[in-house]
């Protein structure tokens, strides 16, 4: 069963880009470990093609090669924070209609050109002081991601809300040093949540 992890630096996490099967040290590594433990009878191929700095428009540019051509059984996508971050300082935010159209393009291609199941993870930002300028924009784009998940996804991981809840019990810096990029604790947290969301999807495919 081929599972493709797609996204930006949170997915990339410094992986070896010459080896698409290298999960890197981030959440894909933990998700793959948890999935293998939970489904020992399934032969998995895990592929990580997250690229640091990517926005939705960048995924669009490489989607045919880096998703459709691979014909995965499952695609997981975590994208969107850079659609806010890269435009925050100048406050030249991408219109929500453009963000929604970009994301829908990716999902429509999967539905049209593959048989892959879709698992979406929502973009997130923790409440650290220097990232508070993100909220007027990213909060709207998170809502778009949730709406698209209801329309397209076989499973959904609401990371922004889940990190907000987790940061009540543990300080937000327990999960991330900058409020966006998870540290090892945050990566393990995401990996566990993703593995849990993937489990019923894997079981359906494996029947």
The tens digit of pLDDT for each residue in 4-58 reads: 999 999 999 999 999 999 999 999 999 999 999 999 999 999 999 999 999 999 9
DSSP the chain: -EEEEEESHHHHTT--TT-TT---SSHHHHHHHHHHHH-TTS--EEEE---TT--HHHHHHHHHHHTGGG--SEEEEE--HHHHHTTTTTT-PPPHHHHHHHHHHHHHHHHHH---EEEEE-------GGGGGGHHHHHHHHHHHHHHHHHH-SEEE-HHHHHHHHHHHS-GGGTBSSSSSB-HHHHHHHHHHHHHHHHHHHHHHH-
Tokens 């784009």 belong to residue: 141
Distances (CA, A) of 78 to 42, 151, 165, 170: 24, 16, 19, 23
Does the structure show a pLDDT above 90 at 139?
A: yes
Position 77 scores a pLDDT of 99
* CATH of span 2-206: 3.40.50.1110
- Confidence at 122, pLDDT banded by 50, 70, 90: very high
Tokens 């493709």 belong to residue: 4
- Taking residues 111-133, report their average pLDDT: 97
Does the structure show a pLDDT above 90 at 72?
A: yes
What pLDDT digit, counting tens, does each position of 150-189 carry?
Answer: 999 999 999 999 999 999 999 999 999 999 999 999 999 9
Position 89 scores a pLDDT of 86
Does the structure show a pLDDT above 90 at 91?
A: no
Position 207 scores a pLDDT of 79
């Amino acid at each position: 069963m081929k599972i493709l992890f797609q996204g930006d630096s949170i997915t990339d996490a410094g992986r070896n880009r010459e080896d698409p099967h290298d999960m890197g040290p981030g959440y894909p590594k933990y998700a793959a470990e948890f999935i293998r433990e939970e489904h020992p009878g399934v032969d998995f191929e895990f592929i990580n093609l997250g690229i640091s700095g990517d926005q939705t428009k960048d995924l669009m540019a490489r989607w045919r090669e880096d998703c459709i051509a691979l014909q995965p059984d499952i695609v997981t996508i975590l994208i969107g924070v850079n659609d806010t971050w890269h435009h925050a300082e100048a406050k030249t935010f991408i219109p929500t209609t453009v963000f929604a159209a970009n994301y829908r393009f990716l999902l429509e291609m999967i539905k049209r050109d593959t048989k892959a199941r879709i698992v979406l993870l929502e973009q997130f930002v923790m409440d650290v002081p220097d990232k508070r300028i993100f909220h007027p924009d990213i909060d709207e784009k998170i809502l778009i991601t949730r709406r698209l998940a209801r329309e397209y996804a076989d499973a959904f991981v609401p990371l922004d809300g889940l990190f907000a809840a987790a940061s009540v019990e543990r300080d937000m810096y327990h999960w991330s040093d900058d409020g966006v990029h998870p540290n090892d604790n945050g990566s393990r947290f995401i990996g566990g949540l993703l593995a849990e969301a993937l489990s019923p999807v894997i079981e359906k495919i494996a029947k």
